[in-house]
Chains A and B, each alone.
Chain A
Amino acid sequence: MNTPISWIKAYVPDLDVSAQEFTDKITLSGSHVEGYVKLDKNLEKIVVGKILKIEKHPDADKLIICQVDVGAETPIQIVTGAPNVKEGDLVPTVLDGGKVAGGHDGGPLPEDGIKIKKGKLRGVESFGMMCAIEELGSSRDFYPEAPENGIYVFPAESGVKPGDDAVKALGLDDVVVEYEITSNRVDCFSIIGMAREAAATFDKPFYPPQVEVKEESEEKTSDYISVEVQDSELCPRYCARVVKNIKLGPSPEWMRKRLASQGIRSINNLVDITNYVMEEYGQPMHAYDLSTVAGNKIVVKRAADGDVFTTLDGQERKLDRDVLMICDGEKEIGIAGIMGGENSMVTDTISTLLFEAACFDGTNIRLSSKRIGLRTDASAKFEKGLDPNLALEAINRACQLIEEMGCGEVLKGVVDVYPNPVMPKELPFEPEKMNSLLGTDIESEKMLYYFKNLGLEYNKEKNTLTIPTFRQDLNCMADLAEEVARFYGYDNIPTTLPKNTSTIGGKPYDKQIEDIVMGICEENGFSQGMCYSFESPKVFDKLLIPEASEYRNAIEISNPLGEDFSIMRTISLNGLLTSLATNFNRRNKNVRLYELGNVYIPKALPLTELPDEKMKLTLGMYGMDATHTKTPRVGVAAGPLPSVGGINKGDFFTLKGVVEEICYKLGFGKDCVYEPVQSHPFLHPGRQADIKKGNISVGVIGQLHPEAAENYDIKSEVYVAVLNMDALVMLSDFDIKYQGIAKYPGSTRDLSLVCDKSIFVGQIEAVIKKCGGKLLESYSLFDVYEGEQIEAGKKSVAYTMTFRAADRTLSDEEVNKVIDKILKELSKLGVEIRA
C-alpha cells in the first residue's frame, strides 16, 4: 500500500511533519513503513522558464540558442538540442548549480542525481538546462502531455509564470510512502484508512470527503435496472447506479497526479474515477455499458461447471460452480470481483453507464482467482474481506465525482440489495482489564480519547464502545487493548519480568545426549552439517535401494517445490553424501561430516496419522585419516597409524573408533557387538556391520558401496555410519560406580594365533571374553598379519592379555589354566597357536 503524503494531507490538513517524522511515528503506531520515495529527490534550483527568443546555433545544425525568462531581471541564455520547443513556451528550467534526477533517456536514476553547471556548447555559452520529464525523474506514464522526446512544456491552463517553482508546479514536491499493512487491517488498504490512522497518530483532526450526490436527473435508477442476488452468502451486498449522457474525456490534472502517485495511468474520466475511488476508499467498482446489459437486469449467481467466459482482456476463462458471476437477463457479463467480460466492456461509444459497487466473500474471491489464475487489483482488495457498508459510500462518492467533473447525469436512487445489513458491534469498555493485560496504568479518559480518534464511540450509560463496521478486526478486549497500546506507545509500556512464574529451566534428556554426541563427533574431527528433510525419489536408485525395500515407502508432499524436494526422507544418508560430494567436487581433502536430523517413517500410506520422526546421527567421511595435525609437523616424524587388515587409512576402523567412543562415553560401549552383515544394499557387502547391544539396534556402519559412491561422483572410498538416537538415548547409562585400583600385580601374556582368513576377530574375542572369566582383566589386539610368512588362506592374530585378581598375586598355574581353556575353545573354531 502506497500513499502520497499530499493526498493524506487532503483529509488531515493540519498534518505538518517531515517525511522522516511521518514514517517513524506512523510505524510505531502500527502502520509499518517499508520506505518512502521523495519525488523531488535530486531536483534542485528548477524554476519555470519562458522561452523569449530562439536562434540557430552558428556552428551546430542540431542546436538552438534560447533566451529564457526565469523570473530574474534579465533572461538567461540556454543552448539545447531539443526539437520541440518554440518561442513563448513555459518549460521547467534548471539553473546553474542546480540538479536533475536523471538523463533524458529515462534510464536508471543515478543515486546523487546530475549536477548542472554553466558551460559552452560548441563555443556558445549556456547557463542552465531545460528539462524533459524523464530528467525530473518521472515519465510520460504520469505526465501523458509530455512529448515523447523533448522538453516538457507546461500546458496553457496550468497558469504558471516565469520564476515559479517548477517542481511544485508539476506536483513533484511530494513524498510517496510505502506501507506493509497487516492482513487484519483491511480498512488501511485505502487512502482514507491511512489518513484516519495518520490523524490519530499525530492527534490532528480528520476530515473525510463529504459525500453528496445531487441526482439532478428526473429519472430513477430502478427504472433502468433491477438486481437479483441468488447467492447472498457470496455477495452480501450489491449496489447499482445508472449514469446517463456520458461524456468521455480527460480527467482533471489533480486527479491524474494522484493516480500517478499510485502508479496508475490516466485513461479517461470514467475509468479514472473508478480507479480513484478504489484507491481512496479501497472499494473496487465496475462499470458496464448499460446498452449491453440484456433485459435491464443484473443477476448474481454461481457459474455452472465447465462454463467458458471471455474476460475483457480477451482471454477465455474456464469456470466452475464455485465462481460467482455477474449476469444480465441472458448471459454472463463478468466474473464477480475479479474481472468484467468482453461482452459488456465500456467503449468510447458509451452513453449510459451502469455502476456496480458490491461486496463479495473474500475467501471465495481469493480461491476463485487462484483457480482461474487471474488476480486483479479488484480481486486483491475483495479477497481481504471488505466492509459491506463501504459499497454504498463508494458508489456515491464516484457519482459525486461524475457530477463534479461533468461527465454524466446521475439518476435518482441506488438499487441496493443488502438483505442482512452489518451493524456496528458493541464491546464493553474494560480499562482495568486492558491495563492488567498491558502491565500499564493508563487513565480511562486517555483510552477513550484514543478510541474517539479512531472513530469508536463511547456509550457512557452502557459503558460500551461502538465499533465502526470498517474495523472488522476489533472483536474483544485484547483487540481494544492493542489499540490503546498503539497510541499510548509500545515504547511507553514498562519493562518487567514475570513475577509469579518460578520454574526450573532445562533441556530434555534426549537433547542432552545429542549435545554429548555432538561433542564426541567434533573431538574426532567431524564437523556438523545441516541437510534438507525432503529429497528426490531418485535418491533410492542412487543408493542402490531395491524396488521392494521399505525405504521406498516415503511420505510424498502434495505440493512440493519440484521433484528434488518431493518426498520426506526415510534414510538419512543422501543429504550427507550430497554434502561430501560437494566437498569432493571442490577438491576439499579429508572431509568428515556429521548430521543430526530426522527421518520420517509413515505408519501407513497415505498418511492417516502423524508418522514416526526418528532422529538419526549420520557420520560420513572420505580421505586420509584426519587425526594428523592441522599443520604439517616439522622435525618430528609422525608415528605410524594403526593399520589393521591392510585397509586404507582413514578407513572403516577410524570411523568405527568414533562410534565406539560414542557408545563408551554413553556408558554402554562394552557390550556393543558389530555383526558382519550383507543386508544394506548401499554399503560394500564385505565391509558392513550392524551395531547392536543385545536386541537393540544401535545403528549400522560400513563403506559406501563403490557404485553408490560413483552415483555421487565421489572418487574415493567413503565410510558412513548411521546411529539411532533413540537407541543411544535409551541405552545411555551414566550410573558410574568406582572400582578399586588393583593392589596386586597382574600377569601379562601374549598369544599369537593362526586361523582361516574368514574367521572374524570378533569370534575370537567372544571366546576370549567367555573363557577368560573373572581373572581376565583386559585384552587387546596388537597385530593382524596376512602374507608371505604365513600359509595361504590363513592369517595371524596376536593378543596381549592381562590377568589379575583383586585379592592375591596370581600364580602361573592359575593363568595357564585360563589360557588353556581359551585355546581349547578356540581350537573348535580352527584357531591354533602360531608355531
Chain B
Amino acid sequence: MSIEAKLQEIKSGILKKIEEADNVNVINDIKVSVLGKKGELTQVLKSMKDLPPEERPVVGQMVNSVRAALEEKIAEKTKQISKLMLAEKMKRETIDVTLPGVRKMTGHRHPNQIALQDLERVFIGMGYEVVEGPEIEYDRYNFELLNIPANHPAKDEQDTFYITNDILLRTQTSSVQARIMEKGQLPIKVISPGRVFRSDEVDATHSPSFHQVEGLVVDKGITMADLKGTLDQFAKTFFGNNTKTKFRPHHFPFTEPSAEVDISCFKCGGKGCRFCKGSGWIEILGCGMVHPKVLSDCGIDPEVYSGFAFGIGLERVALLKYEIDDMRLLYENDIRFLQQF
C-alpha cells in the first residue's frame, strides 16, 4: 500500500471515530492514538526516513494536511461535545423561578411621616422654608399674639393643657407664626410642622396629641387670591391634578378674612360617596389673611405688609389618604399596621 493510501485510510478511519465519539475523553484518546508520540500519524512521519529524499516533502505535506484536517475535526467535535455537556448541565440546574425572591427585611416609615414628607416636598418646591417651634410654649405665642386674649372663649374651645398659668402645651402650630414674625425678617415664606396637644379623650377620631403643618407668607402685596392659588396648587400636587378646591368663609381669631377649604373627594371625584358622606367634598384645612392686629402685635406694619396663613391637620390627611378608619392605630405601632406603608 502506498503511503498516500495509508494516510487516506488513517484519515477516514479516524474521522469516523471522531464522528462517533460521545465525550471529551474518547476524543482525547483518539488524539493521542493518532497525533501522540506513538500515534499512527507520527509513525508515518517516522517512516519517511526510508523514502527517497525527493519524495519526502510531498509526503510531509500530505501528512501535515491530514494532521490539519484531523485537528480541525477534533477541535470542532470537542466544541460540539462541550456545548452538549453544558446544555445538559444547565438542564440539570433548572430552578423554579416562581419561588419567592430573597429580600432583606427592611423597616417601614410611619404613615404620618410619609404624609408629612410628601407635604413638605410640595411646599419646599414652592420655595417654602421648614421651621420649627417649641411644643411647650408660652401663652403669649400660642394665644395672645394670635389675637386670642385672656378669657377668650377660643381658649376653652381648644381645651388647652396647662403647665403653669402662662406655660402650656401648644394647641396649634400657629404659635410658630408669632415667633417667626416677631423675628422680623421679611419676606416670610415658611411651613412649620409639629406636634400639638388638645385635651380630647382618645377615640377613633380624637387624640390628645396630633400634628399640624402651619404655613405663613408675609410680604408686600400678598392677597387672598394668592392664598387661594397657593392652596389650590398644593391640593393638585398632593391629591392629584383633577382635585378641585372650595373656599368657605369661616372664623379664626388670627386671620381675617378666614376660610375653610374643602377639596373634591378623591375617592369619588366629587360625585358623592360614603367616604365624603355624600357631599363630594372633604374638609382639609383652615386658612386666611393674617389679621392686621396680629401683624402689628408682632411688629410688622399692616399698612405695608400683608400675609396669609394656613393650618393643615396632618393626621387628617394621613387618615384620608390611606383610608385608615381609627386614629388609635397611629399610636399603637402594631408592626402589622406599620408594615403596610
Q: What is A's interface to B at a CB cutoff of 8 Å?
A: 27-30, 32, 182-185, 362-363, 366-367, 383-384, 436-440, 473, 476-479, 481-482, 485-486, 490-491, 493-508, 511, 515, 518, 521-534, 555-561, 565, 568, 576, 579, 582-583, 586, 588, 591-594, 597-598, 600, 606-607, 610-611, 613, 626-636
Q: Is the CB of A588 within 8 A of B334?
A: yes
Give CA–CA (A630, B330) in the complex, Å: 24
Complex A-B, nearest 7 residue pairs according to Cβ-Cβ distance, in ascending order: A439-B225, A439-B223, A482-B257, A182-B251, A30-B249, A529-B333, A579-B333
B107 within 8 A of A: yes
Of the candidates B100, B108, B251, B260, which one forms a contact with A183 in the assembled complex, judged by CB atoms under 8 Å apart?
Answer: B251
Could you tell me the distance between the alpha carbons of A7 and B45 in the complex, rounded to whole angstroms? 129
Instruction: Please give, as numbers and ranges, the residues of chain A lying within 8 Å of B123 by CB-CB distance.
Output: 505
Q: What are the interface flags for B299-326 relative to A under an 8 Å C-beta threshold, 1 for contact and 0 otherwise?
A: 0000000100000000000000000000
A439, A521, A582, A611: which contacts B226 (Cβ < 8 A)? A439
Q: Which residues of B contact A511 (CB under 8 A)?
A: 130, 132
- B124 in contact (CB, < 8 A): yes
Q: Please encode chain B, from 66 to 100, with 1 for each CB lying within 8 Å of some chain A CB and 0 for all others.
A: 00000000000000000000000000000100011
Q: Number of B residues whose C-beta is below 8 Å from A? A: 91
**Contact in complex: B226, A497 (CB < 8 Å):** yes
Identify B247's interface contact among A490, A527, A592, CB under 8 A: A490
Binding site for A on B (CB under 8 A): 95, 99-110, 112-113, 117, 120, 123-132, 134-138, 151, 153-154, 156-157, 161-164, 167, 169, 187, 189, 195, 197, 199, 201, 208-209, 217, 219-226, 228-230, 232-233, 246-251, 253, 256-260, 289, 291-293, 306, 330-336, 338-339
Q: Are B164 and A528 in contact (CB under 8 A)?
A: no
Q: List 22 A-B contacts (CB under 8 A).
A: A32-B260, A437-B223, A437-B289, A438-B257, A439-B226, A476-B293, A482-B258, A493-B225, A493-B247, A495-B232, A496-B223, A496-B229, A503-B129, A522-B106, A522-B108, A527-B338, A530-B113, A558-B163, A600-B135, A610-B134, A610-B136, A629-B103
Cβ of B157: which chain A residues have Cβ within 8 Å of it?
183
Q: Are B102 and A528 in contact (CB under 8 A)?
A: no
Question: Once bound together, how far apart are the Cα atoms of A348 and B39, in whole Å?
Answer: 142
Cα of A478 to Cα of B126 in the assembled complex, Å: 27
- Minimum CB–CB distance from B270 to chain A (whole Å) comes to 14
- Please give the distance in Å from B247's CB to the nearest CB on chain A: 4
**Choice from B228, B248, B289 contacting A494 with Cβ under 8 Å:** B228
- Complex contacts, B167 vs chain A, CB 8 Å: 607, 610
For the complex formed, measure the closest distance between the CB of B120 and the CB atoms of chain A, giving whole angstroms.
Answer: 7
The residues of A that contact B226 with a CB separation of less than 8 Å are 439, 496-499
Separation in Å of the A374 CB from the closest CB of chain B? 16
Q: Are A528 and B108 in contact (CB under 8 A)?
A: yes
Majority-rule SS of B interface residues: mixed
From known contacts A533-B197, A583-B334, infer whether A490 and B259 are also in contact, taking CB-CB under 8 Å: yes
A504 to B129 Cα, complex, angstroms: 7
Given the known inter-chain contacts A482-B249, A485-B249, please indicate yes or no for A557 contacting B162, CB distance below 8 A.
Answer: yes
Give A608 to B185 CA distance when docked, in angstroms.
28
A476 (CB) vs chain B CBs: closest residue:
B292
Q: How far is the CB of B77 from chain A (nearest CB, A)?
A: 36
For B334, give its contact among A362, A367, A479, A582 (CB under 8 Å). Answer: A582
Which residue of the partner chain, among B138, B151, B223, contacts A367 with CB atoms under 8 Å? B151
Q: Do the beta carbons of B201 and A634 come within 8 Å of each other?
A: no
Does B104 lie within 8 Å of A28, measured CB to CB?
no
CB distance from A411 to the nearest CB of B (A): 37
Are A363 and B151 within 8 A (Cβ)?
Answer: yes
Q: How far is the CA of A613 from the CA of B339 in the complex (A)?
A: 30
Q: Which residues of A contact B332 (CB under 8 A)?
A: 579, 582
Complex contact B335–A593 (CB within 8 A): yes
Let me know if B106 and A600 touch, CB within 8 A: no
Contacts of A490 in B (CB 8 A): 228, 247-249, 259
Please judge, given known A-B contacts A592-B107, A610-B134, A629-B102, whether A528 and B229 are in contact too, CB under 8 Å.
no
B117 CB to closest chain A CB, in angstroms?
8
Cα–Cα distance between A531 and B105 once the two chains are bound (Å): 23
Q: How far apart are A132's CB and chain B's nearest CB, in angstroms?
A: 31
Residues in A neighbouring B113, C-beta threshold 8 A: 518, 528, 530
Bound Cα distance from A530 to B291, whole angstroms: 34
Q: Are A485 and B137 in contact (CB under 8 A)?
A: no
Q: Is the CB of A527 within 8 A of B135?
A: no
Q: B164 to chain A: which residues have CB within 8 Å?
A: 558, 606-607
